[in-house]
Amino acid sequence: MGLELYLDLLSSPCRAVYIFAKTNSIPFEYKEVTLMKGEQLSEDFGKVNPLKKIPALKDGDFTMSESVAILLYLAEKYKLSDHWYPANLEKRAKINEFLLWHVNVVRPLMVKDFWLKVMAPTLLGRTAPAEKLEAVEQEFSAALDQFEKTFLQGKTYISGEEISVADVLSLCDLIQATCTGQNIFEERPKMAAWRRNVESHIGMELINEAQKVVLNAGSYSKDSMDSKGVEWLTARARLLLS
């Protein structure tokens, strides 16, 4: 049996893994784990990843999780072009530095913003207080300032003149932020230019394919959830809103 990738394209780290594998023609079997139906909580999936999170990978008997670790594993295993995750120690370290900062700073803010504005109203029938929304937006904006000033710095891609795993991972998260009505790209020409570079390298066909579901508001309606989905999603919404 070949490589299996357990994904739901509604999740940004899953999209990053999907786009990365496809753009590099890595053969894999797509295993859908529908978050809206709580499928990540199933016993079967628990055998692939006891942490019950996606993305997850199964390569023969070997299983693993964590999107960053998965991207690095794929880059290494399939001996992809050096620019994706360079062998040069300093270039590699800088990419690692960015990935960590992004996952620990930008992504949680994007997720919070998304849940407060989209998921909580759908599940709990109420919006978060205005000050809370404003606070998250301000923090997110500050993080984007940091992204432009410290990491992107007007380069073509995050690590320089060539695309790497850093660009794929962060673009997927940032596109999701646009789903809450934030015009982050229109307001930031440098980021918009970077986005065009990344999209043109990957190709709009694959980009659109990967982002079709997340950009469709219907994907988050209660109609797309079953009772198991509603249960876990509601619990999460309550936690985030508290």
Partner 1 sequence: MGLELYLDLMSPPCRWVYMFAKKNNIPFEHKQMVLAKGEQHSEAFAKVNQLKKVPALKDGDFTLAESTAILVYLAQKHKTADHWYPSDLQKRARVDEFLAWQHTTLTMNNGRLMMMKTMAPMLLGHPVPAEKVDAAVQELNMSLKQMEEKFLQDKTFLTGEEISLADLVAFTTAAQPLGGGPDILEGRPKLIAWRQHVEAEIGEELINEMNQVMEKAKAMLGGPVDPAMKEMMKAYLQKML
Position 120, amino acid: A
Position 42, amino acid: S
66 is a contact residue toward partner 1 (CB under 8 A): yes
Closest separation between CB of residue 96 and partner 1, Å? 4
Pick the binder of partner 1 from 37, 94, 188, 195 (CB under 8 A).
Answer: 94
68 is a contact residue toward partner 1 (CB under 8 A): yes
149 is a contact residue toward partner 1 (CB under 8 A): yes
Pick the binder of partner 1 from 27, 44, 89, 181 (CB under 8 A).
Answer: 89
Position 9, amino acid: L
Burial class (CB in 10 A: 0-12, 13-18, 19+), 6: buried
Q: Measured from the CB atom, is 28 or 220 closer to partner 1?
A: 28
Residue 11 falls in the annotated catalytic set: yes
4 is a contact residue toward partner 1 (CB under 8 A): no
Pick the binder of partner 1 from 90, 131, 161, 205 (CB under 8 A).
Answer: 90
- The mark string for 98-127 relative to partner 1 (x by CB under 8 A, - otherwise) is --xx-xx---x-------------------
Pick the binder of partner 1 from 3, 64, 80, 230 (CB under 8 A).
Answer: 64
Q: How far apart are CA 194 and CA 43, in angstroms?
A: 41
Pick the binder of partner 1 from 34, 141, 146, 197 (CB under 8 A).
Answer: 146
Closest separation between CB of residue 35 and partner 1, Å? 18
Which residues carry out catalysis? Answer: 11
| Residues that bind partner 1 in the complex, under the rule CB under 8 A | 50-51, 62, 64-69, 72-73, 76-77, 89-90, 92-94, 96-97, 100-101, 103-104, 108, 146, 149-150
